[in-house]
Amino acid sequence: MNFDLSEDQLALRDGIRALCRGRFTSERIRKGFDQAMHEELESTGVFSLRADGFGWAEAAITFEELGRAVVPGPLVWTHLAHGVADGTISGLARPEPGAAAFIEHLVTADVIAVLDDDGVSLVPTDAIREAAALDWPLDPLTPVHRVEALPAGERVAGADVAAMWRRGGGVLTAAFQIGMAQACTDAATEYALARRQFDRPIGSFQAVKHLLADMVVRAEVARAAVHAAAVTLDDPGVCDLDRVLAGARLLAAEAALKNAKSSMQVHGGMGFTWESDVHLFLKRAWVLNTAFGSANEHADALAARL
Amino acid sequence: MDLRYSETDEAFRAELRAWLARALPDLPSPPARDDWPARVRFDTNWQRFLYDAGYAGISWPKEYGGRDASPSEQLVFLEETTRARAPYVGVNFVGTLHCGPTLIAEGSDAQKTAHLPKILKGEEVWCQCFSEPDAGSDLAGLRTRAERDGDHYVVTGQKVWCSFGHIGDFGELLVRTDPDVPKHRGITWLILPMDLPGIDVRPIETVLGSSEFCEVFLDEVRVPVENRVGDENDGWRVTNVTLSFERGTAFVSEMVDALRMAEELAPDVHDPTERRELAHVVAELDALWALTKRNVSQAARDGSPGQGAFMLKLAYSEARDRLGELCMRVLDRAAFDVHDERVEERLRTLSIPIAAGTSQIQRNIIGERVLGLPKEQPWAKVP
Ligand SMILES: Cc1cc2nc3c(=O)[nH]c(=O)nc-3n(C[C@H](O)[C@H](O)[C@H](O)COP(=O)(O)OP(=O)(O)OC[C@H]3O[C@@H](n4cnc5c(N)ncnc54)[C@H](O)[C@@H]3O)c2cc1C
């Protein structure tokens, strides 16, 4: 038992963090996901990580860093589908048969992966005839299309793989969320130290300090949960996988949402502007809260295991 | 990152589990809440029992009767004793969980030899005489005075909220030895034998209708200078060592126990919304156990549990409060009896966000020490 990050994991984390700082600046992020971004992430190994011999733990560490930078794109799906489909992959987990599908990043994606209980199917995006873009999607960096009738895809894997993708997708989404929660804490702390009112930094006021303390604790507790889930995915049997997974998803989703809201509060009027990055975090947190199962579904799943 | 215990840890677990299976059925049943002589006997017998079996002071040095076991074995110990519903440390709380560790870190050789083995054998019960009527959250504002008179400190003042004060053999005592310097600098940490002349202990009734803590009046009590832990006027630093154990590690076993309680509550929770709330609490407690493993692993690497330890008490207080409220909602009115385990627990756990530093104080500390935010006010002088 050594639940600390290993030297290699720390090096990986620092490497990805440095890359994000240098390459994925706020200015660049705001332009949205494109082919160049896909290629950079690909050449860094973000998508092939597990094929290159790393585990879910390392993938989670990587996605946490991508979350800190709120990098846009169907990153989780492209990672999951590595080796099964080429290019940029977006996806749908458990779509309702017959109902309209809402697909993220349709225009940049080459293929849509569809997970149902029986397995994984692939639908090439050019097979989709009619798709209507949402005029103004909630998260400006997550374009969404409404597709009335999704063509039946080609079945490429069975139920086991679908279940694995669903769990892995959940862990990576949760990892991304804790990265966001951490970034919100960092940004709000920095602002609280710099911004002065009543002749002193606002961070000296307890009402603000306590908001920030709760943020740091929320992110730290959720991080422990997400790392435990990732480690369990690599080494099933070490904990009850579906229980740690559901717990991690609940806590990570909450940390991302609440920390983004607190960050907006700490930033005051500035936080409510399009110009600051705060809203990007809050909006992405809402969007991710619906990825790979809702909070209520995870809570029900956890309760069912007690 | 590795959550799997080593073979050595698992061997330790198997051995411990076998011992618990043999030892626990023969234990007498726990005494009534306010039968203090029986409680002291029960808790100290259990401590002695652990000692004889080689399980007392799992992480303490061997020379004082400890096991010098690895941190992961300590976690295994907590998991197994909780799972087996072994007795709680009870009256040995202060001695084993924060006084002992303080003496190991800061005590003189004589103090270690005199007290550590006896704490582990259940021969000494300790209490904590830190708080005062006007020095609670602002602990450093304490006014109990100690004047040097030859080989003794002569102590006069009043302490309050002293858990186990009426049954303690020794107390962790904080006194003011220099009133003329900024308040954090004039404090000294003393070992107080609770039977010295001039000490008057009066129990206070808690919300449980129980006498768990006391007022302690000190009237010219002569404490030998050799009972000083650390240097004169360096007591605030020693106090922080004590508090770091009290807030960082002392309640970890409670946390594991809370998880057991939450799991046991599950069959009684039927309402779908309440089941989701329960899931949330369990997720938090699971995560806090993972965070404990992280703290332990980081401590093994850099010798200090890092910043995670600051977070545990605050997060645990909140999770525990949610669990307590859920218990109350699940119970029907007929069960509203303080003797019901869940009602008693709900009342008892109301103290968690207050004792050992309130949640507000923990937030201040996290804001200032972890995030580096400025203090609201500069340190004041002694009032
Ligand atoms: C069950 C129990 C057992 C205890 N056992 C012991 C013991 O064995 N030995 C011992 O010495 N003490 C013990 N205590 C005392 C405990 O440490 C104190 O109660 C605690 O530190 C709070 O101090 P106080 O009660 O004076 O409250 P106060 O300090 O008066 O606080 C009252 C309220 O004001 C808030 N507050 C105060 N200052 C600030 C601030 N700077 N910023 C924000 N909010 C603030 C507090 O958070 C609280 O909500 C025990 C307490 C309990 C409940």
Q: pLDDT tens digits, residue range B64-76?
A: 999 999 889 999 9
How confident is the model at residue B124, as a pLDDT?
Answer: 97
Q: What is the pLDDT of residues B158-213, one digit of tens each?
A: 999 999 999 999 999 999 999 999 999 999 999 999 999 999 999 999 999 988 89
Mark yes or no for CB contact A201/B373 under 8 Å: yes
How confident is the model at residue A282, as a pLDDT?
Answer: 98
Percent of chain A whose predicted confidence (pLDDT) is above 90: 95
Top pLDDT among B309 and B113 is at B113
Minimal CA–CA distance to A247: which of A223, A282, A216? A223
Q: Collect all residues with Cβ–Cβ distance below 8 Å to B93 and sequence separation of at least 6.
A: B163, B164, B250
How confident is the model at residue A264, as a pLDDT?
Answer: 98
Mean pLDDT, rounded, for A21-31? 96
Top pLDDT among B379 and B348 is at B348
Top pLDDT among B345 and B238 is at B238
How many Å lie between the alpha carbon of B259 and the closest alpha carbon of chain A?
11
Percent of chain B whose predicted confidence (pLDDT) is above 90: 82
CA of B364 to the centre of ligand 1 (A): 14
How confident is the model at residue B120, as a pLDDT?
Answer: 97
Crossing angle between the packed helical segments A159-194 and A56-68, to the nearest 10 degrees: 40
What's the complex ipTM?
0.94
- Confirm or reject: Cβ of B131 under 6 Å from ligand 1: yes
Q: With an 8 Å Cβ cutoff, is B311 touching chain A?
A: yes
Nearest CA to ligand 1 atom 35: B360
Alpha-carbon distance of B148 to B227, in angstroms, equals 13
How confident is the model at residue A57, as a pLDDT?
Answer: 98
The three-state secondary structure class of B160 is strand
- Confirm or reject: Cβ of B355 under 6 Å from ligand 1: yes
Q: What is the pLDDT of residues A32-64, one digit of tens each?
A: 999 999 999 999 999 999 999 999 999 999 999
CA of B354 to the centre of ligand 1 (A): 5
Q: Are strands A154-158 and A119-124 parallel, antiparallel or unpaired?
A: antiparallel
Residues from chain B contacting residue A250 (CB–CB below 8 Å)? 279-280, 283
- Supply the mean pLDDT for chain B: 93
Top pLDDT among A267 and B254 is at A267
Task: Using pLDDT thresholds of 50, 70 and 90, give the confidence band for residue B382.
Answer: low
pLDDT of B227 higher than 70: yes
The angle formed by the CA atoms of residues A76, A80 and A84, to the nearest 5 degrees, is 140
Q: With an 8 Å Cβ cutoff, is B272 touching chain A?
A: yes
Mean pLDDT, rounded, for A102-131? 95
Residues from chain B contacting residue A302 (CB–CB below 8 Å)? 279, 282-283
Mark yes or no for CB contact A250/B280 under 8 Å: yes
Alpha-carbon distance of B70 to B68, in angstroms, equals 7
**From B167, B354, B377, mutation site for ligand 1 pocket: most ligand atoms within 8 A of C-beta:** B354
- Supply the mean pLDDT for chain A: 96
How many Å lie between the alpha carbon of B373 and the closest alpha carbon of chain A?
6
Question: A149-163, B73-87, B305-319, B344-358: which has the minimum mean pLDDT?
Answer: B305-319
